[in-house]
Amino acid sequence: MKKTQSKARRGEGLYIVLISVHGLIRGEQLELGRDADTGGQTKYVVELARALAAHPEVGRVDLLTRQVIDSKVSDDYARPEESLGDNAWIIRLPCGPRRYLRKETLWPYLDCFADNALGHVRQVGLMPDVIHSHYADAGHVGTRLANLLGVPLVHTGHSLGRVKRERLLEKGLKDEDIESRYAMSRRIEAEEETLGNAYMVVASTQQEVEEQYALYDHYRPERMVVVPPGTDLGRFSPPRPRERRPAVWQELARFLKKPDLPMVLALSRPDERKNIPTLVEAFAGHEQLRSHANLVIIAGNRDVIRDLDKGSREVLTEVLMRIDEFDLYGQVAYPKHHNADDVPDFYRLVARTRGVFVNPALTEPFGLTLIEAAACGAPIVATRDGGPHDIVRHCHNGTLVDPLDARAMGEAIWAIVNDREKWKKLSDSGLKGVRKHYAWEGHAQKYVKQVKSLRREASRIRRGQQRLSGKLAKADRAIISDIDNTLLGDRNSLRALVQRIKDEGQGVAFGIATGRRLDSALQVLKEWGVPTPDLLITSVGSEIHYGPEITQDRGWEQHIDHRWDPDGLREQLLDLPGVELQPKVDQRRHKLSFFVDPEKAPSMQEIERLLHQQDLHANIIYSHDRFLDLLPSRASKGFAVRYFADKWGIELQRILVAGDSGNDEDMLRGSTLGVVVGNHHPELRRLKGFQRIYFAESGHAGGISEGMDHFDFFGKCDVPGE
């Protein structure tokens, strides 16, 4: 990806990172309604990015989304970077297979996306003031990225899994069908995790806060902020007197016997939740409405229905079957194609014909189309479930109905179409209300005010951890030490070392690499008064976490899983004499630990040969003539250190590692600067003579300090003789 530092920032304004992973996102000609993943959210995040970038206190906005390289979609989605105007960019990052995938299949690849997002932020060279995730999948990514960088997380759900599951169950779907189609449990798990980590949740309506987010275990009303989305009032405006009919009118007219009748318009993607078949039934079942109006259904774009995804195919098939059942031919239009520029013209046709815009969705978190319709002068009838409550309360421009009551829906539409005075009053109120409450400029102003407040709060909450939070994104060197008998052992020298690292500030990251379990490592560090490290490599290199939130590096977990067969390894080792399994508490997903009696057990070379003969792959770590650990072949302290260096962009010659025993050897070798403390185990003597490995006279933390002086670690990082 090419760098954008030349345009990185205007002044010293806020740097805001938005994340919206799924769907197809580009700056122009959004393919709204193409499928279930290209709905209002894609439009919302693009317009939000532009609106925030236009605010005078914002310096840069990056909208991170998935890169898609697929002959079935436009090449636009393969471009790594796209400008959205001054100070705003779409950044497309690799995430799993290159082809376009529906959001339910993206879960296994989101940790890869998070790693690539981290790489982008480091490349930009600026610390974000806030990470703002959109939808559950981006929440999973945003939680990891915000925790790694130590910056506040903001989240917008757009729609919520618990609410959707309830609605689908009400419609008669079974739990197992919901799970297989929507990966619902994984989605809800991610939503809970995100809510537990978010500093602020941006909701569109108060109803969304009180009735939808309240279903979650991590619901915290004090973290919820209602900031309604904006709309582009430059695009969405009422029809001008005596202006010519737009081109889309001809497309609709070919379906209709009397195309000048009032238009009852529905515009959404063909998703089951949008409840379009009920609107068809409402229109058909009201004799007067059917005689005095036309129904227009804009349900995404299609060439052949059978080629659509299953959900869209089923919805459109049901719509066509109801049109046929009620014999609505000549009274309903359902064009196959439209583009984003046509949408304002559809709304203006509703206004010109004195019709009604209808949103019959089962639940609607906000209802951006309702705002757009109102901005064009169209009255509305909408579901009473969700955001339309607030829109009608602010704009006084329509009626709310039970989305499952087709008769009531038809009556509400007819009551507006049949009353010219009421129609005019609702139209005028909508125009005024949208300009007052739903302009993007006002949204951006509220958003920036909240973010500035959030930044102050985050600073106050983390004051005691500030030297840790986000340090990895700024560090250009790192100190990584074993714990037992290396970092720990002498309290005086330890206190001096900790203070010395602290005095060096944000440029130096501090990490540990240990054979201990994570919980054990944290406990012993606390007992010795050591602050939570920025990096924790535990279980002999099989696990990586980052402080202070102890965020697990799932990319490392996936990387080392290659050819790992713990059951086969365990079976082979336990058949050997002098080898005994350590307690269950010491076993990890990617680490098998054994006690070894060296007088009875085969040599390590013999064990390695045996495993090779059985086509079993493992990294064998033997230390202190007693402890044997089997790790995946890609896992060790040394491999973990190098993975960390590559991920965070820190040169290996600027990483100082310290150890005392054999399980530290592979991280001491190579391009890193190695320190063997004075109290080291004899098995490390074979490393003497390596120019990049210094054998200290002092023991424990004092030896580490001695090594730092030897290499001028806080200066040039000198390697003698090189």
Judgement on whether residues 193 and 331 belong to the same structural domain of the protein: no
Query: Do residues 253 and 221 share a domain?
Result: no
Look at strands 592-596 and 356-359 and give their pairing.
Answer: unpaired
Residue 446 pLDDT > 70: yes
pLDDT tens-place string over residues 299-338: 988 999 998 888 899 999 999 999 999 999 999 999 999 9
- Of 578, 606, 633, the residue that ends a domain is 633
Q: Rounded CA gap, 504 and 352, in Å?
A: 69
- Give Cα 518 distance to the centre of its chain: 25
Parent domain of 42: 5-226
Report how far residue 378's alpha carbon sits from residue 376's, in angstroms, rounded to the nearest whole number.
Answer: 6
Q: Are residues 552 and 416 in the same domain?
A: no
Question: Looking at the domain assignment, is residue 720 inside a domain?
Answer: yes
Supply the CATH number for residue 175's domain: 3.40.50.2000
pLDDT digits (tens, 9 = 90+) for 34-70: 888 988 899 899 999 999 999 999 999 999 999 999 9
Identify whether residues 537 and 598 lie together within a single domain. Answer: no
389 and 422 assigned to the same domain: yes
- Predicted local distance difference test score (pLDDT) of residue 211: 86
Same domain? For 336 and 426 the reply is yes
Is residue 5 very low, low, confident or very high in pLDDT (cuts 50, 70, 90)? very low
Give domain status of residue 74, yes or no.
yes
pLDDT category of residue 469 using cuts at 50, 70 and 90? very low
- The answer to the question of residue 241 being in a domain is no
Tell me which of 598, 633, 668 is where a domain ends: 633
653 phi, psi to nearest 5 deg? -75, 0
Q: Would strands 356-359 and 332-333 be described as parallel, antiparallel, or unpaired? A: unpaired
3-state SS of 42-58?
HHHHHHHHHHHHCCCCE
pLDDT band, very low/low/confident/very high, at 6 (cuts 50, 70, 90): very low
Any domain includes 431: yes
Residue 160 lies in a domain: yes
- 117 in a structural domain: yes
Domain boundary among 612, 633, 654: 633
Q: What is the average pLDDT across 637-658?
A: 87
Identify whether residues 261 and 346 lie together within a single domain: yes
Specify whether 626 is located in the same domain as 498: no
Query: How is residue 203 written in tokens?
Result: 């909701």
pLDDT in tens, 356-412: 999 999 988 778 899 999 999 999 999 998 789 889 999 999 999 999 999 999 999
Do 470 and 364 share a structural domain? Answer: no
Within a domain: 16:
yes
Residue 449 lies inside a defined structural domain of this protein: no
Lowest mean pLDDT among 316-320, 545-549, 699-703: 545-549
pTM recorded for the entire structure: 0.65
Q: Domain holding 621: CATH number?
A: 3.90.1070.10
What integer pLDDT is reported at residue 470 of this predicted model? Answer: 62
422 in the same domain as 317: yes
Total of domains in the chain: 4
For residue 719, the model assigns a pLDDT of 66
Angstrom CA distances, 708 to 267, 347, 370, 480, 703, stand at 66, 69, 64, 12, 9
Stretch 449-456: mean pLDDT = 84
Q: From residue 210, give the alpha-carbon distance in Å to each of 205, 206, 220, 221, 222.
A: 9, 6, 10, 8, 11
Same domain flag for 116 and 219: yes
CATH code, domain with 502: 3.40.50.1000
Could you tell me if 589 and 699 lie in one domain?
Answer: no
Mode of pairing for the β-strands spanning 356-359 and 263-267: parallel
| Residue 701 banded pLDDT, cuts 50, 70, 90 | very high
